[in-house]
Amino acid sequence: MSFVMTSAERESFLSGIHVGVLAVERDGRAPLAVPIWYDYEPGGDVLLWMHRDSIKDQLISKAGRLTLVAQTEQAPYKYVSVEGPVVSNGEAPTRQQALAITRRYLPDDEAVAYVDGSLGEVSILVRMRPEKWLSNDQSK
């Protein structure tokens, strides 16, 4: 019996609403691992919105790649881990891109208020192209 998800299952799971855990290597220390909101559509890039020059941005720029993990919190447990190169991390997100990420996690009125209060010159959109996947579905 295999608990590994098919390609379609893992992409569908990752496109669901989960707080991701961003993992990025750093010199001489354990990797940075922090929760993060993200957006993903099957077959596309993983999108992360963050502040320019934050520790996340600095480490991602230096490493050139990252890992994102999404999981369920209740049984039957499932997770997807995806790793890949950063294909873009200098552009500012459009308002629509920022709203697409935020609306996954907040009701519409709160998402709009959050984006209107947070989107600015220090905002960047990081795009990661999925290359390596790990997955587990304990409901199989």
Sorted by where each starts, the structural domains of the chain and their CATH numbers stand as: 7-137 (2.30.110.10)
Give residues with Cβ within 8 angstroms of 131, minimum separation 6. Answer: 82, 83, 84, 85
Cα separation, 132 vs 49, in Å, equals 21
- Residue 10 is inside which H or E element, if any? helix 7-15
Q: Taking a C-beta distance cutoff of 8 angstroms, is the pair 140, 3 a contact?
A: yes
pLDDT for the residue numbered 31: 95
Structure tokens at 20: 């991701």
Mean pLDDT of the residues in the chain: 95
Q: Looking at residue 49, what is its pLDDT?
A: 95
- Quick one: pLDDT band at residue 104, thresholds 50, 70, 90? very high
User: For residue range 31-82, what is the model confidence (pLDDT) as tens digits?
Assistant: 999 999 999 999 999 999 999 999 999 999 999 999 999 999 999 999 999 9
What's the whole-model pTM score? 0.93
Q: Tell me: the pLDDT tens digits for 13-25?
A: 999 999 999 999 9
The rounded percent of the chain whose pLDDT value lies above 90 is: 92
Between the alpha carbon of residue 73 and those of residues 78, 107, 112, 126, the distances in Å are 8, 21, 27, 26
In this predicted model, what pLDDT tens digit does every residue of 108-130 receive, in sequence order?
A: 999 999 999 998 889 999 999 99
